[in-house]
């Protein structure tokens, strides 16, 4: 969908909001780049103890590395560069993204995801609404208005979205959720621009069990009939038109590809755990547990499989 732009989506900021937005955008097939100058506000934390999934907390360096690995695995290009300013791209609704040490690149859409600084968005035609003036101790300062963007991240500037700074990004886990929320709007808008209509374009990114497809729903024709009945009456085009057929094909391909079988589930579980293990310091793990605690924490089937060179049984996965 990138067209004449270098990127479909450019995200400014590689913290939880930016990487979360990047994962969703890239998984939806949008060519996405994340610019991260390495100064996320998350790195000011000593230790993160309230990010779901880490019962004893997690050090910031490891979590940050996990964010970036996830974004790259999803298909994002990650660039350690600072964005100095944005301009409207000549002859289009996109942007020129000016970098500190390199030539500008272009992007159809931009997601702002920097916790504190929004000054690079000055000059896009909405400065009066985007920035607010405050007085304190006799000094006047201007800063980005955290309430500027709509709840879904859209703004008065076409194709500019704000995940952060916002009033909802005070906690890392909330910032990650907002990044995903804003990405959903980016994906919907990109699909609408590509000929979809909003009712169809508003999708969900998930992976489902193939077993949920019974005999009827295992047949693509059943999905075609459902699509025509559900979306046909309210479609802005005739059901027998080329555009309707193209959108239906793309939407059904997207939906059906989300179903995976037991073998694929097992393979993904194994690769996912291996990816997590790659970020663990083996010496630190061993040092943190005595031998008995380590054995108690491990699954019996896995211990047996390791000792005897066999396979792990299905209930041990």
pLDDT digits over 11-58, tens only? 999 999 999 999 999 999 999 999 998 767 777 889 999 999 999 999
CA distance 35 to 81: 6
What share of the chain has pLDDT > 70, as a percent?
88
Tell me whether strands 105-113 and 7-12 are parallel, antiparallel or unpaired. Answer: parallel
Residue 304: the pLDDT is 67
Q: Which CATH architecture has domain 7-193?
A: 3-Layer(bba) Sandwich (3.50)
Predicted TM-score of the model (pTM): 0.88
pLDDT band at 233 (very low <50, low <70, confident <90, very high): very high
Residue 311: the pLDDT is 56
Residue 305: the pLDDT is 66
Residues 96-106: what's their mean pLDDT? 93
Q: In the chain, where are the structural domains located?
A: 7-193, 199-260, 289-317
- In the predicted model, is pLDDT for residue 284 greater than 50? yes
Residue 104: the pLDDT is 94
């Amino acid at each position: 969908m990138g067209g004449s732009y270098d990127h479909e989506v450019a995200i400014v900021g590689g913290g939880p909001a930016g990487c979360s937005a990047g994962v969703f955008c890239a998984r939806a097939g949008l060519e996405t780049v994340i610019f991260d100058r390495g100064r996320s506000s998350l790195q000011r934390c000593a230790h993160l103890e309230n990010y779901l999934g880490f019962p004893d907390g997690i050090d910031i360096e490891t979590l940050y590395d996990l964010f970036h690995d996830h974004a790259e695995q999803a298909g994002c290009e990650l660039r350690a560069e600072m964005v100095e300013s944005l301009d409207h791209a000549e002859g289009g609704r996109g942007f020129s993204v000016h970098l500190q040490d390199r030539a500008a690149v272009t992007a159809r859409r931009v997601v702002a995801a920097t916790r504190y600084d929004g000054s690079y968005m000055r000059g896009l035609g909405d400065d009066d609404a985007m920035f607010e003036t405050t007085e304190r101790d006799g000094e006047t300062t201007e800063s980005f208005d955290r309430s500027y963007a709509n709840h879904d991240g859209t703004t008065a500037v076409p194709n500019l979205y704000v995940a952060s700074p916002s009033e909802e990004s005070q906690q890392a886990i909330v910032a990650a959720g907002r990044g995903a929320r804003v990405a959903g709007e980016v994906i919907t808008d990109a699909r609408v621009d590509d000929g979809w209509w909003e009712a169809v374009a508003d999708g969900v990114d998930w992976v489902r069990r193939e077993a949920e497809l019974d005999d009827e729903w295992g047949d693509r024709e059943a999905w075609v009939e459902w699509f025509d009945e559900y979306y046909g009456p309210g479609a802005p085009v005739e059901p027998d038109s080329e555009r309707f057929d193209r959108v239906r094909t793309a939407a059904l391909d997207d939906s059906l590809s989300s179903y995976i079988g037991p073998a694929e589930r097992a393979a993904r579980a194994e690769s996912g755990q291996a990816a997590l293990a790659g970020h663990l310091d083996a010496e630190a793990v061993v040092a943190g547990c005595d031998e008995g605690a380590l054995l108690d924490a491990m699954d019996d089937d896995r211990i047996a499989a390791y000792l005897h060179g066999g396979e792990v049984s299905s209930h041990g996965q």
